[in-house]
Structure 1
Amino acid sequence: MRLQITKTKNSESFFITKSYRKNGKSTSKVVEKLGTLEEVIQKANGQDPYEWAKNRAKDLTKQEKQQQKEILVQYSPTKQISMGDQVSFNGGYLFLQQLYYQLELDKICKTIQEKYKIEFDLNGILSQLIFSRVLYPGSKREAFYTMHKYLEAPQVELHHFYRALAVLSKESTRIQSQLYKNSQKVRPRNNRILYYDCTNFFFEIEEEDELRKYGKSKENRPNPIVQMGLFMDGDGLPLAFDLARGSANEQTTLKPLERKLLDDFSMSKFIVCTDAGLSSTANRKFNDIQGRAFITTQSIKKLKKHLKSWALATTGWKLSGSTSKKEYSLEEIQVLANHKAIFYKERWILEDGLEQRLIVTYSLKYQHYQEKIRERQVTRAQRLIDSGQVLKKSKNPNDVRRFIKQTHVTKNGEVADKQQTGLDETVIDKEAQYDGFYGVCTNLEDTVEEIIKINHNRWEIEETFRIMKSEFEARPVYLSREDRIHAHFITCFISMMIFRLLEKRLPENYTYGEIIETLREMTFYRIDGEGMIPTYTRTNLTDDLHQQAGFRTDYQIIPQKEFKKIFKETKSRKITTK
């Protein structure tokens, strides 16, 4: 800071000013108005007024360096704000940026950039695509135009974004493999247990192409879709993904991606956990060799007759977690009325040349849950009957119309339109007999408790897809070129990886929705020449975000120099335990 004196014909005025840079240009501002010469003489209290004023400037400079100076900002109700001058920015991305660099994604981008001799900033584009996917999801064009919302922005153009997509698509396997290796430095990976699931994403188009095909949409949309198969580790962190044609049987998507883990990820021994829809005999056999294993859900309804009779038998049930060999009947379990207890029975079976262990569990809690679900569905079915609508038969096995009895002929045997005659009690009773029962098949000899625990954690991969589709708005997809479509999902995959890692560093009591919304609301107001004022509400979550990151942005004002330190820290690959 320096002393500035302005002289007029009749007086001298003293000011303390400081220089700063704004939009790359040097400018200055008044920090403190000391007054006229007469006023300064009074303040100097016998000292030389000029020396006193110079010392005051030195004191303010020293206080600023020590971050002790009180900052006073003057605003005028008659002065308009500058045209086009942005003063509000998002800073929540800094917590994502820290993990982005700890995963060494900048290093990955540098390697790719050198390989293809790219002149534009690939690292800047990828980081913006990821931050925007989490905070302001939308199209790639929108990601470009939302760059100004962040405290920093790369110097790139819109066409660079689309050129980058083609490169990211070509290097998808390399990125996934390297990201897996780098992530182990950030957090140890639980790669003993792998969860696999497959979902699909629809496109707002009518014509199919090589990748986007008509198939069974998870959202029941009449649009072409692509299949996305995803592996997740035992802690819920994304591991690898691949895309397949929308018309492909999802059971066929597992082997190609698993081979990628074996070849490109240098993984060999692991347990693959899937749901019943992906548990074909071929997939089970594929994971019954060379140290691999499987755990998969098994539909009780689809068991062979003798196995179904055994599974639903009222006797032979053991209490999970108990060392006692006592066996219970379903009647005894009802009398115990312990809703937290899980009872089980097991046996080894040999089918299609595959020996596997069938575990069937039963719990009152799960029984009551299924009863409530069906009661609501039956209520909805009755409403449809009362409405008198002519209903078409649905192929969805969970559609409530399965509970409606229909007739297609008159009393005289003549052909007639479909008519709803009431609820089909036979179907309702048939489904009720499976309430409370749950089946799992595996080739492992671990305890039943361990098998149940592993299978229970499948919910995390289902939640991962839910976050992608809802919070990250990964669908509908508007891109048309296959390479750009693949690049879209690689950015979604990386975004999910970074977000999950951040989530793991925070206490478990926060939902993913709360975390994302808090990051979006962490905004700052810029004071030219001084720093940033937080305009968000400080909460326990913002405290925990700062605690795990090792820096704070929740002071009344963060000086410019301090923010430069934060920028530098979030771009460091150094990983410290907070």
Structure 2
Amino acid sequence: MFVKITTSGGRRYLQLVQSYRDDAGRVKKRTVATLGRLDQVGGELDSVISGLLRISGREPMGERPAAPSVAFESARALGDVWALTELWKELGFGALRRVFRRTRHTTDVEALIRVMVLNRLCDPDSKLGVLRWLETVALPEVDVKAITHQQLLRSMDALMAHQAAVDAVVTGLLRPLVDQDLSVVFYDLTTIRAEGLTNVAGDVRAFGMAKEGLIARQFMLGVVQTADGLPIYHEVFAGNAAETTTLLPTLTTVLERFPEVRRLILVADRGLLSLDNLEALEAVRLASGEPLEFIIAVPGRRYHEFAELLGPFQRTHCTQARAEVTGELAWQGLRLIVAHAPATAAVQSTRRNGEIAALIAQGEAWASKLVEQDGGVKHRGRKLSDSGAKARFYHAVCEAHLSKIIRVDLKAELFRYEIDETARRLAELMDGKLLLVTNTKDLAPADVVTRYKALADIERGFKVLKSEIEIGPVYHRLPERIRAHASICFMALILHRIMRARLRAAHTGLTPERALEQLHRIQHHRVRLGAAEPVTGVSSINAHQNEVLSALRVKKPVAPEQLTLL
């Protein structure tokens, strides 16, 4: 049946019509009822419709209910903290919970440490800044509203109070990632700026020469990492500690923590070489009884000690060389590996000769002016004195790092200088050269050089610590808080390097920073419809984000209830 409007005598009527077939099968229509004139149909028709709806089990006609109110809460970043939390648990950092469960702490110390580590990778900030950051992220398995600034500081104290147990957990999760047959480890130090002028007992903050070439209050951070770029140990030293004194204590601890390693090659930079270190390193034995092997660069200030030894090698191999040359010489019962790069040597020699020529021209100009002044000739500007010329010239020579070649006689009454040709020839002899001392017996000279050049990766690790993780400047005053801060940054560096290794293995072309930036866009949403319970959901994951999650071997983030409209 259907409703039909018909016209009769100029008026329009509303009829209920039925379709049917007659005996011959033809379609016929018949009027079942006339509902009245169209211009007079009103509430009577509404009551009929409501009755029909009621009989059919539907809601009767009436006023349409008001649309429920929809409240959208602020979206929170989920993807980056989700991925880092999954990596944290997969690697085994969750075992820290057992360490602190045996203590009297009423808060979840492991969760608070995890919060600070993840903050270092996502949006590094102060401990107060961590609380502001928590308001913008949906951190899994953490009640962020209950976290206070004091709890974060107390968790740092707990980290140091149980440092031995914490170190055991971290070493345990790193041990399966270290090659047990042959491990090449790199050791280097960097300086971390520290703020504040107060002094406390056992203070690690001290004034010293920073890596940037400035004297500043700082502490030193030593890091040991594998050839794969995985950091396995760190230590905090006083800001004025000599680099050579840090090597053996660090090495001893590394050997104690990784006794399963059957062969270990230590690669260290120039500042760590001393005769005492070499003798002590040769006496070190692994748990297997094998001797420690090492590759250490000779510092530039000691190159002159090898001039006589390098003379024949220079004449035989380097003078006519067009490509990089490597060779081997004997020195104090050890192997002295020499690498010579002709292109680098040419650049260094040309630059030095140009600087020397410019300084000589300046010196001759000042000497001529002094002679003319003595003869009564007047010049524009201030009168030049011998002492002033000496001071200015000596400063320019030192700025160019040529004080060993251009020797200014500061004790003479008159302005005098001379060129030390022996020092100049020595500098030219050392141009483009890299000197390495090693006791390895089965590595070819080229392989030794390659191993040493891989040390540059630890410098990149320091760059990550200082830029992405922002380990400094440090505003903590207490030594234990500074060490705790360094431990938190070290854990963040472990996660960063694991991410880097997995992203490289998957050939994504992404850095950990870019990957976290992609995942940061995966958001957690919360919507409330009227007076009903709020509904949560996760924003859609695009192809790029899915690729990052797959490369990191992390499952997709989920919420208790996924919203279809998001």
State how far apart, in whole Å, the 1-side matches of 2:357 and 2:188 are: 32
Cross-structure match for 2:6: none
State how far apart, in whole Å, the 1-side matches of 2:464 and 2:356 are: 30
Cross-structure match for 1:471: 468
- CA separation of 1:333/1:414 partners in 2, compared to 1, >3 Å: closer, same or farther? closer
- CA separation of 1:301/1:562 partners in 2, compared to 1, >3 Å: closer, same or farther? same
Any conservation in 1 of the 2:244–2:271 contact (CA below 8 Å)? yes
Any conservation in 2 of the 1:208–1:214 contact (CA below 8 Å)? no
1:283-317 CA distance string (max 9 Å, x none) = 22232232211111124662465x42332435676
- CA separation of 1:408/1:451 partners in 2, compared to 1, >3 Å: closer, same or farther? closer
TM-score (normalised: structure 2): 0.69
1:414-453 CA distance string (max 9 Å, x none) = 478xx9x999999777534322211111011122233222
1:68-98 CA distance string (max 9 Å, x none) = xxxxxx999xx9x77xx42232421222212
- CA separation of 1:365/1:400 partners in 2, compared to 1, >3 Å: closer, same or farther? same
Correspondence 1:358 to 2:346:
no
Cross-structure match for 1:346: 328
- CA separation of 1:356/1:393 partners in 2, compared to 1, >3 Å: closer, same or farther? same
State how far apart, in whole Å, the 2-side matches of 1:462 and 1:184 are: 23
State how far apart, in whole Å, the 2-side matches of 1:263 and 1:127 are: 27
- CA separation of 1:315/1:439 partners in 2, compared to 1, >3 Å: closer, same or farther? closer
Correspondence 1:91 to 2:79:
yes
Structure 1 segment 99-110 matched on structure 2, within 5 A: 99-108=87-96, 110=97
Correspondence 1:148 to 2:135:
yes
Q: What letter matches 1:359 in structure 2? A: I
How high is the sequence identity, in percent, across the aligned residues? 18
SS of residue paired to 1:133: helix
Report the Cα offset of residue 552 of structure 1.
Answer: 3.8
- CA separation of 1:478/1:294 partners in 2, compared to 1, >3 Å: closer, same or farther? same
SS of residue paired to 1:549: coil
State how far apart, in whole Å, the 2-side matches of 1:429 and 1:133 are: 50
SS of residue paired to 1:444: coil
- CA separation of 1:91/1:360 partners in 2, compared to 1, >3 Å: closer, same or farther? same
- CA separation of 1:257/1:527 partners in 2, compared to 1, >3 Å: closer, same or farther? same
State how far apart, in whole Å, the 1-side matches of 2:112 and 2:248 are: 33
Cross-structure match for 1:433: 429
Cross-structure match for 1:59: none
Cross-structure match for 2:160: 169
Cross-structure match for 1:309: 308
State how far apart, in whole Å, the 1-side matches of 2:393 and 2:158 are: 47
Q: Which moved more, 1:277-286 or 1:156-165?
A: 277-286
Any conservation in 2 of the 1:524–1:532 contact (CA below 8 Å)? yes
- CA separation of 1:234/1:91 partners in 2, compared to 1, >3 Å: closer, same or farther? same
State how far apart, in whole Å, the 2-side matches of 1:381 and 1:520 are: 55
SS of residue paired to 2:302: coil
Cross-structure match for 2:110: 123
SS of residue paired to 1:215: strand
From the CA coordinates, give the structure whose radius of gyration is larger: 2
State how far apart, in whole Å, the 2-side matches of 1:259 and 1:156 are: 39
Q: Which moved more, 1:128-137 or 1:291-300?
A: 291-300
State how far apart, in whole Å, the 1-side matches of 2:134 and 2:357 are: 49
Correspondence 1:504 to 2:501:
yes
Correspondence 1:294 to 2:289:
no
Pick aligned residue for 1:450 from 437, 444, 447: 447
- CA separation of 1:360/1:156 partners in 2, compared to 1, >3 Å: closer, same or farther? same
Pick aligned residue for 1:543 from 540, 543, 547: 547
State how far apart, in whole Å, the 2-side matches of 1:75 and 1:363 are: 76
Report the Cα offset of residue 233 of structure 1.
Answer: 1.6
Q: Name the Cα RMSD after superposition.
A: 4.4
Q: What letter matches 1:471 in structure 2? A: E
Report the Cα offset of residue 146 of structure 1.
Answer: 1.1
Any conservation in 1 of the 2:502–2:551 contact (CA below 8 Å)? no
State how far apart, in whole Å, the 2-side matches of 1:190 and 1:113 are: 34
SS of residue paired to 1:506: helix
Please list every run of 5 or more consecutive structure 1 residues that lacks an aligned counterpart in the other structure: 1-37, 52-73, 318-328, 564-578
Report the Cα offset of residue 173 of structure 1.
Answer: 3.8
State how far apart, in whole Å, the 1-side matches of 2:357 and 2:180 are: 46
Pick aligned residue for 1:276 from 270, 280, 288: 270
Cross-structure match for 1:137: 124
State how far apart, in whole Å, the 2-side matches of 1:207 and 1:392 are: 40
Report the Cα offset of residue 208 of structure 1.
Answer: 4.5
Cross-structure match for 1:238: 231
State how far apart, in whole Å, the 2-side matches of 1:265 and 1:117 are: 31
- CA separation of 1:90/1:435 partners in 2, compared to 1, >3 Å: closer, same or farther? farther
Any conservation in 1 of the 2:184–2:226 contact (CA below 8 Å)? yes
Number of residue pairs the alignment of both structures matches = 459
